[in-house]
């Protein structure tokens, strides 16, 4: 379910961090591994995608964005020479509920199905 793509223009690490935070505004972002001079090619897998760090490194992307990355996964990223962005499980998936709701509303006849977006779900992690 992952994707690989290229940004229209290469970004330095600071600009890339801002871009990721803007794209995933509810994410608590952590970086690890090795930061390249510029970042243009990106792999991503929403949710818990640490198991695909080796695949992202094999694809020679500049950065890999996912969630739920453990300490030893980040250590492996450093050994593989790839930048990994841990944007959290919730941070990489929360926007999908709005997209899915819109799809279901557009697919079914009005009144045929009531689609309710959860108001109780959220990120369990918070900053103090």
Give me 86's structure tokens. Answer: 């841990």
Q: How do residues 31-50 score in pLDDT, each as one tens digit?
A: 999 999 999 999 999 999 99
Q: What average pLDDT does the segment 96-115 reach?
A: 83
Contacting residues for 12 by C-beta, under 8 A, at least 6 apart:
37, 38, 39
Strand (E) or helix (H) holding 102: helix 96-107
27-56 core/surface letters (b: 16 or more CB in 10 A; e: else): bbeebbbebbeebbbbbbbbebbbebbeeb
Instruction: Grade residue 115 by pLDDT with cuts at 50, 70 and 90.
Output: confident
Q: How do residues 53-101 score in pLDDT, each as one tens digit?
A: 999 999 999 999 999 999 999 999 999 999 999 999 988 888 787 788 8
Model pTM score: 0.85
């Amino acid at each position: 379910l992952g994707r690989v793509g290229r940004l229209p223009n290469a970004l330095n690490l600071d600009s890339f961090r801002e871009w990721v935070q803007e794209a995933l505004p509810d994410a608590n972002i952590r970086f690890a591994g090795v930061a390249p001079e510029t970042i243009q090619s990106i792999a991503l897998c929403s949710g818990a995608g640490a198991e695909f760090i080796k695949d992202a490194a094999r694809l020679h992307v500049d950065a890999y964005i996912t969630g739920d990355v453990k300490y030893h996964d980040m250590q492996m990223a450093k050994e593989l020479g790839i930048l990994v962005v841990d944007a959290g499980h919730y941070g990489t998936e929360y926007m999908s509920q709005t997209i899915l709701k819109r799809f279901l509303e557009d697919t079914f006849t009005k009144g045929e199905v009531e689609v309710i977006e959860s108001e109780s779900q959220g990120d369990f992690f918070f900053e103090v």
